[in-house]
Amino acid sequence: MEFKTIEFKFNLKALGLQLKTVLLSLFVVAALTLQGCSAGVLGGLNGYTDSLDGYKFLYPTGWTQVKNLSESSGLDVLFHDIIEQTENISVVINPTPGKRSLTDLGTPSEVGYRLGKSAIAPEGSGREAELVNAEAGQVGDRIYYLLEYAVKLSNGLQRHNIASAVVYRGNLYTLNASTPEDRWEKMKGILEQSVKSFTVDG
């Protein structure tokens, strides 16, 4: 009888250990699942398509589109972060009469330099833009220039811009992503994905 009692206590302990192991495993799985879902939301991208002008791109989840843009802004579309509102992605479309490709406008460095002077830091804006990288890429038979800038504002603050440019339908399409320099390392990956996702039809 005493032997049976000891055996019964032993089995309860073993059962308790198994229950703890199962519960711990379930907790770990649930934690990893929740973490995965959170990362998916925070690190996700949404798609935007402009069928009329013929372009599309991805932008970070949680950003919002600015409605009723003024014509004077020169922007075709603008998205920004809800919290960091100066963190944004925009598209500008400018006519390029007689130019059928980016190579007609110049090399990546030449186009990047001119865009820096005319769009990123135009005269009178108080901004200074340094072109830090310029390269060409190709999607299908269309050439895109990927451009990167270090920007200094008139108040001394630093920003980081990356852009993708392409000639389409006699226009220069430029997608520009901009973030404060102190957030660049955090935002670099997702903004690069956004910029590289920019494509025009055809």
51-98: pLDDT as tens digits: 999 999 999 999 999 999 988 888 999 999 999 999 999 999 999 988
pLDDT number for residue 72: 81
User: Do the Cβ atoms of 160 and 177 come closer than 8 Å?
Assistant: no
Range 46-200 has CATH code 3.30.1360.120: no
Domain boundaries defined on the chain: 1-42, 46-200
Q: State CA 164 to chain mean position distance.
A: 12
Which position has the higher pLDDT, 31 or 195?
195
Q: List the one residue out of 180, 117, 109, 122 whose CA is nearest residue 148.
A: 109
Min mean pLDDT across 34-43, 63-72, 193-202 is at 34-43
pLDDT number for residue 98: 87
pLDDT number for residue 117: 94
In whole angstroms, give the CA distance from residue 140 to residue 38: 34
Tokens of 109: 């460095």
163-184: pLDDT as tens digits: 999 999 999 999 999 999 999 9
User: Do the Cβ atoms of 174 and 115 come closer than 8 Å?
Assistant: yes
Which position has the higher pLDDT, 130 or 29?
130
Question: What percent of the chain has pLDDT above 90?
Answer: 71
**Residue environment code for 77-109, b if the CB has 16+ CB neighbours within 10 A, otherwise e:** bbbbbeeeeebbbbbbbeebeeeeebeebeebe
135-153: pLDDT as tens digits: 999 998 899 999 999 999 9
pLDDT exceeds 90 at position 25: no
Q: Cβ atoms within 10 A of the Cβ of 46, count?
A: 13
Average of per-residue pLDDT values in the chain: 83
Of the pLDDT bands very low, low, confident and very high (cuts 50, 70, 90), residue 28 is: very low
User: Do the Cβ atoms of 147 and 140 come closer than 8 Å?
Assistant: no
